[in-house]
Amino acid sequence: MDSKINPNEIIKAESRFLRGTLRESIVDPVTGALSPDDAQISKFHGFYEQDDRDLRLVRQERFLEPFYSFMLRARLPGGICTPHQWLVIDALGRELGNGSIRLTTRQTFQFHGILKRQLKPLIQRINQAMIDSIGGCGDVNRNVLCNPNPERSGLHAEVHRWAKRISEHLLPKTRAYHEIWLDGEPVAGGESEPIYGETYLPRKFKTAVAIPPHNDVDVYTNDLGFVAIAQEEQLEGFNVLAGGGMGVTHDDTTTFPRLADELGFIRPDQTLAVAEAVVTVQRDFGNRISRRHARLKYTIEKMGLENFKTEVEKRAGVQFEPPRSVRFTTQGDRYGWVRNENGNWHLTLYIENGRVSDSDGSSMMTGLRKIAEIHQGDFRITPNQNLIVAGIADYDKELIDSLARQYGLIADTESPTRLASIACVALPTCPQAMAEAERYFPDLLKKVEHLATQHGIDDSAIVMRMTGCPNGCARPYVAEIGLIGKGPGRYNLQLGGDGTGQRLNRLFRKNLNESELLDTLDRLFRNYSTHRKQDERFGDYVIRSGLVKAVVNPAEDYHATE
């Protein structure tokens, strides 16, 4: 094998279709960890090895190994689960996890703090509830996003079926997961991965399906996007997008966030062929030497969009039609009660940073459990880490409303900016975090809200997103205000998203501590309040006023003004 090839490629190739020595690693009593190679393979099964970073130093001083535990992420296309499934998720979070459930920016849930010996029982129990974690992580297609708001229920249901089909079509075919976790019969040989091959993809791969005018899935930030085109609620097909991605490495100008390009329009029956073709082009042309440059966005930059599109058309046996015109007007979630065309009700709940727990005086986890015990519809996790209690009949509305109020689940006092904002997990579980996010963002927001009130702009729903590092898990590069962790207590300030996820922001100030950040926002809010045009968004104002220049071609000009 090429000596320059990334070591992960060798681990995948030698893993016998994702088996590695996981069976041995999980019963090894000497350590709470997996072997290093298995820690890579485990991601394809949906879990990551982590250690509690708050305890790292203390344990080091006592010559103890890090306090290892695992994060497990489920596959839940479009974020939909039944009340029974919610009750299972809730019970497992309390019994085998750290007492919480984390709703993610990709419409699924994670458990944190699982001990190695608890992994198998946990995976078995989610599977008994008909949820799996295959491809929750790893170099394959991840959880497929889909607009979760069933406001237009017929169209939504059809589009959601496509999201589910794409997810299933792009699942790894190896039986390793069933063998290791579900005690399935070992395969006698002759196994293959028709789509992925034995080294899978060069890197993670993400797909989203959007229903305009809502861009809650941030469709342009995905490797592969499908934008539903409908005529009088009938699905006509999809505009296909490719090459979006957020991850950046600080101070490495060869990395950049990128919005997906339009390839063209297809009919629904061409969807799976096109999805598979995009994946196999990435499999064959993606960078297997530098993982930092291995996402589809870099493959497209290297091949050129036209060559990439021609290759996809050839492999899919499809000729793209010119893309249909679409208009997105929103990026976040709509809260509260909504009634759809079937007369059913839906209640969107604000879940701060997606963390469902009963800690800090909150009884959110209990409240959701009480709702799940009586709810007849379903639950939908949104791509903004919130939760929709969906499909509520008229006669259940009052009871669910009163339970939601009793347990403090109705967000009627939150500011518009808070409701439009998200933060990634970061410390203490994320090994990549350079600064706090989830644990710090709510407090920082209080101070930002205070500034907004002082300047009379507290009616503006500014999309503000914080991450503990530049990987971009809360999609901060399409926020109007993005805060990217640089070091303990320090953040880069990015400005200029358009509030609909269709424009990248750009670095405005580097490495700010809290008081520098608040001073800067104070000045920006004052100017915005004085000079904004009617209904002008904050992100549009900073671009119009020349405070930041819009990014035209991220490969060339993203870092230009730093």
Residues 408-427 that bind ligand SF4 (CB under 6 A): 424-426
Q: Does 433 bind ligand SF4 (CB under 6 A)?
A: yes
Strand 464-467 vs strand 481-487: parallel, antiparallel, or unpaired?
parallel
Contact 395, 401 (CB under 8 A): no
Taking CB under 6 A as the binding criterion, the range among 344-352, 398-406, 467-475, 490-498 that sits at the site for ligand SRM is 467-475
Instruction: Return the one option of ligand SF4, ligand SRM, none that residue 445 interacts with (CB less than 5 to 8 A, by type).
Output: none
Rounded to the nearest 5 percent, the helix, strand and coil shares of the chain are 35, 20, 45
CA-nearest of 513, 553, 485 to 249 is 485
Instruction: Return the one option of ligand SRM, ligand SF4, none that residue 468 interacts with (CB less than 5 to 8 A, by type).
Output: ligand SF4
Gap between the Cα atoms of 48 and 430, Å rounded: 10
Among the listed residues 81, 283, 430, 503, the single catalytic one is 430
Q: Does 471 bind ligand SF4 (CB under 6 A)?
A: yes
Residue 142 among the catalytic residues: yes
Among the listed residues 12, 116, 469, 503, the single catalytic one is 469
Gap between the Cα atoms of 180 and 436, Å rounded: 35
Q: Does 18 bind ligand SF4 (CB under 6 A)?
A: no
Residue 137 among the catalytic residues: no
Q: Does 479 bind ligand SF4 (CB under 6 A)?
A: no
Closest CB to ligand SF4 among residues 47, 541: 47
Taking CB under 6 A as the binding criterion, the range among 48-56, 158-166, 251-259, 461-469 that sits at the site for ligand SF4 is 461-469
Among the listed residues 19, 43, 106, 142, the single catalytic one is 142
Binding mask 308-347 for ligand SRM (x = CB under 6 A): ----------------------------------------
Closest CB to ligand SRM among residues 235, 260: 260
Taking CB under 6 A as the binding criterion, the range among 224-232, 469-477, 531-539, 552-560 that sits at the site for ligand SF4 is 469-477
Residue 123 one-letter amino acid = I
Among the listed residues 43, 102, 204, 418, the single catalytic one is 204
Q: Does 539 bind ligand SRM (CB under 6 A)?
A: no
Q: Does 204 bind ligand SRM (CB under 6 A)?
A: yes
Gap between the Cα atoms of 228 and 209, Å rounded: 7
Q: Does 430 bind ligand SRM (CB under 6 A)?
A: yes
When binding is defined by CB under 6 A, the residue of 246, 347, 392, 420 that contacts ligand SRM is: 246
Contact 80, 379 (CB under 8 A): yes
Q: Does 75 bind ligand SRM (CB under 6 A)?
A: no
**Angstrom distances, CA of residue 171 to CA of 219, 276, 317, 341:** 20, 11, 21, 33
Q: What is the largest CA-CA distance in the chain?
A: 72
Closest CB to ligand SF4 among residues 51, 540: 51
Strand 464-467 vs strand 355-356: parallel, antiparallel, or unpaired?
unpaired
CA–chain centroid gap for 457, Å, is: 29
Instruction: Return the one option of ligand SRM, ligand SF4, none that residue 475 interacts with (CB less than 5 to 8 A, by type).
Output: ligand SRM
CA–chain centroid gap for 124, Å, is: 24
Q: Taking the complex as a whole, how short is the minimal distance between the CB of residue 496 and ligand SRM, in angstroms?
A: 18
CA-nearest of 250, 268, 254 to 297 is 254
When binding is defined by CB under 6 A, the residue of 241, 469, 517, 521 that contacts ligand SF4 is: 469
Q: Taking the complex as a whole, how short is the minimal distance between the CB of residue 221 and ligand SF4, in angstroms?
A: 13
Gap between the Cα atoms of 272 and 56, Å rounded: 45
Q: Does 494 bind ligand SF4 (CB under 6 A)?
A: no
Q: Does 15 bind ligand SRM (CB under 6 A)?
A: no
Contact 35, 41 (CB under 8 A): no
Task: Please give the span between the terminal C-alpha atoms of the chain, in angstroms, as a whole number.
Answer: 39
Residues 497-526 that bind ligand SRM (CB under 6 A): none
Residue 430 among the catalytic residues: yes
Q: Does 430 bind ligand SF4 (CB under 6 A)?
A: yes
**Angstrom distances, CA of residue 271 to CA of 161, 164, 195, 225:** 12, 12, 15, 11
Closest CB to ligand SRM among residues 308, 441: 441
The 3-state DSSP class for residue 229 equals strand
Instruction: Return the one option of ligand SF4, ligand SRM, none that residue 382 interacts with (CB less than 5 to 8 A, by type).
Output: none
Residue 146 among the catalytic residues: no
Residue 73 among the catalytic residues: yes
Closest CB to ligand SRM among residues 396, 438: 438
Residue 486 among the catalytic residues: no
Contact 234, 172 (CB under 8 A): no
* DSSP notation for 63-107: TPPP-EEEEEE-B-GGGEE-HHHHHHHHHHHHHTSSS-EEE-TTS
Strand partners, 228: 238
Residue 128 one-letter amino acid = Q
Instruction: Cite the active site residues.
Output: 73, 142, 204, 206, 424, 430, 469, 473
Interface positions with ligand SRM (CB under 6 A): 48, 50, 71, 73, 104-106, 108, 110, 142-143, 204, 206, 221, 245-247, 295, 354, 385, 424-425, 429-432, 471-475
